[in-house]
Amino acid sequence: MERWMQDLVKKHRVELEQKKLTEKQQNILEAAIHLFAEKGYNGTTTSEIAKLAGVAEATIFKHYRTKKGLLLRLVIPVISKFASPIILNTLVEILDQEKPIEEILQDLIEDRTKLVEKNWKTIRIVLVESLFHPDIREALKENVGKHVIDIVSQKIDRLKAAGKIRDDLPNRVLIRGIMSSVFGYLLAKNAVPEVLSAGKEDEELKWTVELMLYGIKGENK
């Protein structure tokens, strides 16, 4: 277990049990994910979680001690097991492809979209609660953000050397541009699709990539 996890586990007495969860524990976690994603951590009470899970409120405290302990029981595995490995595995494979940059970027946006949509409730909890819990924010920054950015930066250096992308901008600027396009597409597709993502998906992806590569003037297209 990494040091940051040890500190959080010790501070909040979180049990990261390796054994199979009981039905009650699984119900509690699923109820917490649903309510934390819908109402936020501060807007959710343990009595509401207990009611949705079909257990006594005391059962939550028996297994997770506190509401913060329950939150961390959800968040820590996401950060340690989900975030870095799952974010990086397919990302590295996509960036290492011997394809034109247009196809690489289209694969990247499509893959990130599926990843976020599949795990949206849990991702939302981690991102939103990191704004209000410094320990979660620090863990996310140190153990996901920096690690992922370092790996992606190495892949961008490779793409620059291969002449697939411009080499006159810092990697952080290129990463910001890619992130903005990915999150913008995700927002359009899930928030107001009938207005901002009304075309066929392959068309929308193609246009998003073209805008990313050539901007709104399209001089180098």
- Convert the pLDDT of each residue in 70-86 to its tens digit: 888 777 776 665 555 56
220 within a domain of the structure (yes/no): no
pLDDT exceeding 90 applies to what percent of the chain? Answer: 19
219 within a domain of the structure (yes/no): no
Rounded-to-integer distance, Cα 140 and Cα 150, Å: 14
163 within a domain of the structure (yes/no): yes
113 within a domain of the structure (yes/no): yes
Rounded-to-integer distance, Cα 63 and Cα 123, Å: 23
CATH of the domain at 196: 1.10.357.10
Enclosing domain of residue 120:
3-214
- First vs last C-alpha separation in the chain: 49
**Residue 12 pLDDT greater than 90, yes or no:** no
15 within a domain of the structure (yes/no): yes
What's the mean pLDDT when you consider all of the chain? 81
For the chain, how many structural domains are there in total? 1
112 within a domain of the structure (yes/no): yes
Q: What is the pLDDT of residue 112?
A: 83
Confidence band for 174, pLDDT divided at 50, 70 and 90: very high
Q: What is the pLDDT of residue 1?
A: 43
90 within a domain of the structure (yes/no): yes
Rounded-to-integer distance, Cα 166 and Cα 193, Å: 32
Query: Across residues 168-197, what is the average pLDDT?
Result: 87
221 within a domain of the structure (yes/no): no
